[in-house]
Structure 1
Amino acid sequence: MRHPPRSVLAAVAGAVALIGSVTVPVVTASGAAPACSVEYSVTSQWDSGFQGAVKITNNTAAMSSWSLAFDFAGGQKLTQGWNAKWSQSGTTVTAASESYNGSLAAGASVSAGFIASWSGSNAVPTSFKLNGTSCNTAVEPSTTPEPTDPAEDGPPVLRASGNKLVDADGATRRLLGVNRSGGEFMCVQGRGIFDGPVDDASVKAIADWKANTVRIPLNEECWLGLSTIDPAYAGANYINAVKDLVAKVKAHGMTPVVELHWTYGQYTGNSAGCSDVHASCQKPMPDMQYTPSFWASVANTFKNDRTVVFDLFNEPYPDRATSTTTQAWQCWRDGGSCPGIGYEVAGMQDLVDSVRGTGATNLILAGGIAYSNDLSQWLTYRPADPAGNLAAAWHVYNFNTCANESCWNSTLAPVAAQVPLVAGEIGENTCAHGFIDQVMKWFDDRGLSYLGWTWNTWDCSSGPSLISSYDGTPTAFGTGLRDHLRALNG
């Protein structure tokens, strides 16, 4: 969103010495089994290179695609591979499933091989992650709780019922609140995890506006702990910070929405936000290399708490890269090789499958094209959700194309008649609130949901920003949302 400025194996030439298999053992506790097992083997080695293999065993729910990640510890460099899409970034190696071997049933195994160079040391990797979940580490069955309902004073478990969001009692609910930006950009810029405080007092200030929802943008490289991110702001440190904020949001009775904002993949075409391959700006579509793993990990983290909502991807804009709108919508749903986008795209169906493959049944939001401002063909291309818990997401600012009631009546109303509709971001760059007043009225009249951008102390004309202080002091723009939420919710 708007942020402040700032082949098949080649023959190996030369002498090759077969050295046998070097396998990383599976470590288990008595009566326990790891979520996944990886056997790493060096099958042959020569002066400057070696041939390796991995055997992956899935010990949990069936998955429709997989991605294995591990780190070379001895300066090895991947040169080629087979039976997976192999890549290396820094020390991190990723093997992602091919179209023919992505389906991995519970208890099933798949193998893949590679060739890499080495010098000085050919140390064996010590840890592996499959779709973001650590392998070869025992998990006691008794430690995995069943999905639970919230406490009476906590947020509701939401589900899509027709075109409404309803709670466990079948009562209609609306998501009304704010975005809390920072988790998408601070970590990749090496400046922290969140922008400004996320202590209890700052979260309580959001609740004092009578908000019932907080949307939390995330960065996939930081969540997955890739080697390009400062470890202080990545991996477990990042995940724990997000979990802590989610817990604080819930403690104040508000629904947390975790959302993927910035992703990997180099795009330098029309409307590119940056030329960086890393997750340092908004890309036109998610990437197949890391995004399915991100969502599998997020879903595994929160699948036992169905009060948490998943927003798949902030603002897709494949329409800026493709020649036709049809191509854009096909890319949006199906991913793959999309015209004008140089990396392999993960489509919305891939991401839904990644979430549901973990067993998570949490509510999912999926935004349309044109930075989530165009839902004109959302119903035609909506991904299939086996859990039947999918809602449409939409974003609008005063400078967007679909920013008037005529467009809303023609393109939004048909969607809202069939599925729940959530305006995940509403805002304007005027430092006033006349435009969002119109948006909120249109959504109020139809019982729909909306979230203001953003609960950060930026210049409201470049943010736009709802607050001038984290104690909840509103900007002129934020006054409109605050007063409206208080009028609605008392």
Structure 2
Amino acid sequence: MRSGPALLGALSALAVVGATTAFTLGTPTPAAAATACEVGYTVNDWGSGFTANLTLKNVGTAPLSGWQISYTYAGNQQLQQGWNATWAQTGKTVTVTPAGWNGTVAPNASVTAGANFGYSGTNTAPASISVNGAPCGGTPPPTTTTPPPTTTTTTPPAGGAPALHVAGNRLADSAGTPVTLRGVNRSGGEFACVQGNGIFDGPMDAASVAAIKSWHANVVRVPFNEDCWLGLPNVEPAYAGATYRAALKSYVDLLHRNGLIAILDLHWTQGAYTGNSSACADVNSTCQKPMTDAAHAVDLWTSVANTFKGDDATILDLFNEPYLDRAVSGSAAAWTCWRDGGSACTGIGYAVAGMQTLVNAVRATGATNVLMLGGLAYSNDLTQWLQYKPNDPAGNLVASWHSYNFNTCASASCWDSQLAPVAAAVPLVAGEIGENDCASGYVTGLMDWLDRHQASYLGWTWNTWNCSSGPALISAYDGTPTAFGAGIRQHFLAAG
């Protein structure tokens, strides 16, 4: 659990939890500076590098415009990449200036920026941090007895979707009762919008959700698109930005009202990659990329986390299927890239945001949602997931695994050697299971194995596609199963 920040007059408080250091610059006497502000500085450190997150809060009564944050390291910390602001380093001094869209901070509002650094030796926090050339100061607004505004959230009705957390190697509800996820993927939100064909593929209404429930599913995984969520200019405005976000939020709310847990899966992202196993040369989010991009993924997960903060019946799947091991040579190097991103990722061609950075982005919002992290080889390889598991102050990380009959790890002997140790340590969710032969023999044996190890699983996919072109669970949105889907449906019904 992350330590609560402490207000300082002269950086007198320093809290350390594991590899995380946190301190906040508070408001000294008014004579110290003219800027009424607070600066928070937190670090997630993995020994040879770290992510630094800065939060600037305006505690004054007037907007804070054209801000600049500066500080000096005592050691050899070297800037690698930053986001949500312009980061620069001269010698040991780091300066952070607005990205353009966040140049003005309204009263009582905050702006957050982060960066990755490398170092050797010790990683001592800066002794002081200045805003516009001086420590934070000024006089904040007087305290009143008026209660702060509250955020209104939709409370699921009786029998609604349970709020989840990690308890040992199981997911559990708020009462501590273990929860096993059995459900389906609902593909469409990742591709329709960027192809100009709408937001979803097929109906996303109450009748279609009722059909999913009729299979005794308790979870639906919803793939989505980075460009469409952020409203980037390559997407038609009718299917992007606020409209797209509202559509996804509305569907998640519908799932919850029907007692279904939601998993939001970042499926297609930006990044120009033309190397081994490239799915397309396009920089935009029009296909699967090897790993999340540093240019947009942090902004995206900050936005998603703020949207679903407080809704712990929604799980956040940080990236669908990493396959960076096709570009980065060597297992250790690939797993380091997976966790750390940045300079650890060679051969990809665009700046990568590692899993630690994405976890940090979500937690910086205050969101405590369970997070799913897929491994290498299109999430089929979890061999070093435990060794490279990112730090999470909320303790809510889940190993995400995908399994098809054509994958490398597609036998009970492989599951016993590679998956069983992971399932014994953390919750294991097979976010996608399927086979390309229009049958269900493979997934039936797999589901039996997952049941014995108290793991969760979701079939791909609740779409009326021809099963010869990929696994499809249904032939009609009323829930009529294909031959492949019939095996999964029968298993769900038997499980209760």
Shorter-chain TM-score range: 0.7 to 0.9
Hey, what does 1:303 align to over in structure 2? 309
Describe the shift of the 1:450–1:361 C-alpha distance in structure 2 as closer, same or farther (beyond 3 A). same
1:262–1:282 Cα contact (<8 Å) kept: yes
In 2, Cα distance between equivalents of 1:320 and 1:428: 22
- Which of the residues 215, 221, 240 maps onto 2:221? 215
1:84–1:96 Cα contact (<8 Å) kept: no
In 2, Cα distance between equivalents of 1:110 and 1:442: 59
1:83–1:98 Cα contact (<8 Å) kept: no
In 2, Cα distance between equivalents of 1:161 and 1:37: 43
Hey, what does 1:144 align to over in structure 2? 151
Whether 1:67 aligns to 2:79 is: no
Hey, what does 2:441 align to over in structure 1? 434
1:67–1:289 Cα contact (<8 Å) kept: no
In 2, Cα distance between equivalents of 1:37 and 1:421: 46
- Which of the residues 460, 465, 481 maps onto 1:474? 481
In 1, Cα distance between equivalents of 2:59 and 2:438: 56
Describe the shift of the 1:37–1:470 C-alpha distance in structure 2 as closer, same or farther (beyond 3 A). farther
Q: Percent identity?
A: 57
Hey, what does 2:322 align to over in structure 1? 316
Amino acid at match of 2:336: Q
Amino acid at match of 1:329: W
- Which of the residues 221, 236, 239 maps onto 1:233? 239
In 2, Cα distance between equivalents of 1:325 and 1:85: 37
Cα drift, residue 85 of structure 1: 10
Describe the shift of the 1:234–1:182 C-alpha distance in structure 2 as closer, same or farther (beyond 3 A). same
Cα drift, residue 158 of structure 1: 0.9
Whether 1:196 aligns to 2:202 is: yes
Q: CA RMSD in A?
A: 2.9
Hey, what does 1:285 align to over in structure 2? 291
Cα drift, residue 151 of structure 1: 3.7
Cα drift, residue 486 of structure 1: 1.0
Hey, what does 1:117 align to over in structure 2? none
Hey, what does 1:342 align to over in structure 2? 349
Whether 1:55 aligns to 2:67 is: yes
Describe the shift of the 1:292–1:370 C-alpha distance in structure 2 as closer, same or farther (beyond 3 A). same
SS in 1 for 2:386: helix
In 1, Cα distance between equivalents of 2:275 and 2:131: 39
Describe the shift of the 1:200–1:419 C-alpha distance in structure 2 as closer, same or farther (beyond 3 A). same
Amino acid at match of 1:390: L
In 2, Cα distance between equivalents of 1:109 and 1:224: 29
Hey, what does 2:55 align to over in structure 1? none
Hey, what does 1:362 align to over in structure 2? 369
In 2, Cα distance between equivalents of 1:173 and 1:449: 9
In 2, Cα distance between equivalents of 1:425 and 1:264: 22
2:273–2:281 Cα contact (<8 Å) kept: yes
Cα drift, residue 149 of structure 1: 6.8
Amino acid at match of 1:272: S
Amino acid at match of 1:438: G
Cα drift, residue 343 of structure 1: 0.8
Hey, what does 1:20 align to over in structure 2? none
Hey, what does 2:419 align to over in structure 1? 412
SS in 2 for 1:396: strand
In 1, Cα distance between equivalents of 2:424 and 2:68: 44
Amino acid at match of 1:67: N
* TM-score (norm. length: structure 2): 0.73
In 2, Cα distance between equivalents of 1:109 and 1:373: 46
- Which of the residues 258, 265, 284 maps onto 1:259? 265
1:148–1:304 Cα contact (<8 Å) kept: no
In 2, Cα distance between equivalents of 1:85 and 1:328: 32
Cα drift, residue 152 of structure 1: 3.0
In 1, Cα distance between equivalents of 2:131 and 2:225: 30
* TM-score (norm. length: structure 1): 0.74
Amino acid at match of 2:266: L
In 2, Cα distance between equivalents of 1:456 and 1:108: 54
In 2, Cα distance between equivalents of 1:297 and 1:362: 14
2:84–2:99 Cα contact (<8 Å) kept: no
Hey, what does 2:490 align to over in structure 1? 483
Amino acid at match of 2:213: A
- Which of the residues 369, 393, 403 maps onto 2:410? 403
Cα drift, residue 37 of structure 1: 6.6
Cα drift, residue 487 of structure 1: 1.2
Hey, what does 2:334 align to over in structure 1? 328
Gaps of 5+ in 1: 1-31, 40-53, 58-63, 70-81, 89-94, 112-139
1:84–1:97 Cα contact (<8 Å) kept: no
Amino acid at match of 1:242: L
Describe the shift of the 1:65–1:212 C-alpha distance in structure 2 as closer, same or farther (beyond 3 A). farther
Name the structure, 1 or 2, with higher relative contact order (CA <8 Å, separation 6+). 1
SS in 1 for 2:149: helix
Amino acid at match of 1:158: L
Describe the shift of the 1:375–1:149 C-alpha distance in structure 2 as closer, same or farther (beyond 3 A). farther
2:83–2:294 Cα contact (<8 Å) kept: no
Describe the shift of the 1:293–1:110 C-alpha distance in structure 2 as closer, same or farther (beyond 3 A). farther
Amino acid at match of 1:437: T
2:85–2:99 Cα contact (<8 Å) kept: no
Hey, what does 1:452 align to over in structure 2? 459
In 2, Cα distance between equivalents of 1:385 and 1:97: 16
Cα drift, residue 445 of structure 1: 1.2
Amino acid at match of 1:339: T
Hey, what does 1:92 align to over in structure 2? none
Amino acid at match of 1:424: G
Describe the shift of the 1:248–1:110 C-alpha distance in structure 2 as closer, same or farther (beyond 3 A). farther
Describe the shift of the 1:339–1:192 C-alpha distance in structure 2 as closer, same or farther (beyond 3 A). same
Hey, what does 2:51 align to over in structure 1? none
- Which of the residues 264, 270, 278 maps onto 2:276? 270
In 1, Cα distance between equivalents of 2:352 and 2:175: 39
Amino acid at match of 1:447: Q
Gaps of 5+ in 2: 1-57, 70-80, 87-94, 102-111, 118-124, 134-146
1:367–1:392 Cα contact (<8 Å) kept: yes
SS in 2 for 1:259: strand
Cα drift, residue 283 of structure 1: 0.4
Cα drift, residue 405 of structure 1: 0.6
Whether 1:248 aligns to 2:254 is: yes
1:273–1:281 Cα contact (<8 Å) kept: yes
Aligned length: 387
SS in 2 for 1:216: strand
Amino acid at match of 1:267: Y
SS in 2 for 1:257: strand
